A and B are shown apart, each in its own frame.
Chain A
Amino acid sequence: MVEHFRSPKVFAAAALLTVLVTSQCARRNGPQATGASSVRPSELLAQNPPKPAPALTGSGDAARRSVLEFLSWAGASTPGQREEARVRIAAAASNPDIVNALTSEITSARTRDHSRALLALSILGEMRSQYALPYLRSVLREPLPQPGRLIEGEDPNQTAFAILQGKAASGLAYLNNADSNAEVFWAVANHASRIVRAEAIRAYLENHNNSGEARESLRRYVRKGEEIFLDRPNRGPGERGEVFNRRLDAYLQAHQELTAPAPDRGSGAQQGRGGSNFDAQPPRF
């Protein structure tokens, strides 16, 4: 045996086999990490209860720092802190430096972190500030990016920007004055994206208590074929099922065209290959 390993070819084959088997085995092991936590999230959350909202104040650089701190807090804030955030945000409405710092952050985040851009735009819209109107208008009116490569049938750059423009429309509808509503109506009639038109309609209706008058105001602008958006239900956070179900039933009753046809059958049931049926319960939270 020892003699065999004096042959370079046998040595190479044995070494190759050993290294490959070792590397395959290693890769079948579980993931590895440095710096992992052994603390349950429930304990971690108990040790770090939600922090109170920082103030959105200051001018110049102080305003910029305040916005950055607030964005960090707001992104991590919990559902129970929604009203606390709204109070802080509303209190900054008369501060143009805060508005400017927010708009800078939105512009900067648009191409590098969509979730941050959406977060900052939500705060700007919630501020209901006259100072925010020009920026919200400029975002809403900016043309969609040029058509590009599709992902699963949609243009991801256009969808990304349309989602932000929908949030701008929601901020304008929430501002709810003649100038801002004119922008909402413009979007309902003219915006190139159905996502934005739909959000503009929803936001206007909800900000006017879904009144018949609001519906009639919108009807003058809604595109032919999109009148259905005036009727569709929204399920809000914490809303009871029976309330939503009543609205959904009314929607389906009013629009028989929403009834889907029977699903199509395939060419024959296909069985999977089988495999690991690991069914251990996840660790206690």
Chain B
Amino acid sequence: MKTSAILAGQVLALALLSSVTWGVCVQTGASQADTDLWNTHGCWQEYFLWQYRAYDMNGNDWNNRGWNDACNSSLEYPKHWNAAYLVTYGLLDNNDQSFHGTADYRAAAEARGSNFHDHFVHKIKDDNGVFGSFDPPDNLFTSCPLYDPSATNSNPASRAGDFMHESWHGWMRKYNYNNGSQGGHRPCNNNPDGTCTLGACTVNGCDYFYFHGVSKYVFGAMWENDGTANRFHSPNQVQVEFLCDVSDQPQPWVPASVRLRAAADANARSAARFINGPGYTCGSFRPW
């Protein structure tokens, strides 16, 4: 009896250990932008029970990150689905004013295979050195700088913007494009003055901006490309266009804290990440 009890205890301990994820992301709270968006749905169960399937997420990857505590907005999984909620419902889809529509941004962010990318799984990585990554063939990782409450991009718009960015690496792979050797971007060149630039890009990880006007892609057609610069998107460009649509073409309930951060993120990227930049800006020129 005593042996059985000891063995049972050991088995239980092993099982518990096997299910624990030792995370390094900070789980102490949520940014005001996350909280403001959260309050618009109040932890809507029907949505997150749809979302985890649409984004192909599972408890193995998200254990101890809110998978079993999906209404705790301090944790990573609730923050992930909060950002997904913005993608699913937060855009106005104005043919005359939006760069792209919900059909595009949902297809880019969600897991299922489509013209936008082959199927992938949304996972989390304990890494403070990247915002996210697309690891072929089918892993879309987001990382701590999108979840730590004090981090610049720990807000729903920037997190969802990263879904677009990483998924576009999947689009590149599907259509056989090479966007560069620096994490899927082009590396900058080190200058004697200590800066690192490539054309107008001032960070190490540069893209081209394939400029297009409003209404040049019907909603649902963002994936289209013709092999030339005339009809093409880069990962940072898709991210900027999404962030601009959150800032300027949101649903009437999208909170100001989310829109402000979206515009700030878009404009910072637009100024610094494009070789043939700068890209355009968006958001009000007034401080508020």
Contact = CB atoms under 8 A, between A and B. Distances in A.
Interface of A: 8, 11-12, 15-16, 19-20, 23-24, 26-41, 44-45, 71, 74-82, 85-86, 89, 111-116, 118-119, 121-126, 149-154, 156, 159-160, 162-163, 166-167, 170-171, 174, 194-195, 198-199, 202-203, 206-207, 228-229, 232-242, 244-245, 248-249, 251-252, 257-280, 282-283, 285
B3 A235 contact: no
Given A20-B18, A232-B281, 4 more contacts: A35-B71, A113-B150, A114-B155, A166-B267
Contacts of B145: 151, 156
Nearest to A274: B119
Contacts of A40: 44, 46
Interface residues on B, range: 35 or more
A277 B67 contact: no
Contacts, number: 406
B209 A37 contact: no
Contacts of B272: 154, 159, 194-195
Contact of B40 (A15, A45, A150): A45
A76 B255 contact: yes
Chain B interface SS verdict (over half): loop
Contacts of A27: 19, 58-60, 63, 67
B253 A78 contact: yes
Nearest to A237: B248
Interface in B1-24: 3-4, 7-8, 10-12, 14-15, 18-19
Contacts of A258: 209, 211, 276-277
Nearest to B15: A19
B51 to A, nearest CB: 8
Contacts of B10: 12
B278 interface: yes
B19 A23 contact: yes
A261 B10 CA distance: 62
A14 B286 CA distance: 67
Given A11-B4, A194-B271, A239-B97, A166 B264 contact: yes
B130 interface: yes
A157 B209 CA distance: 25
A213 to B, nearest CB: 17
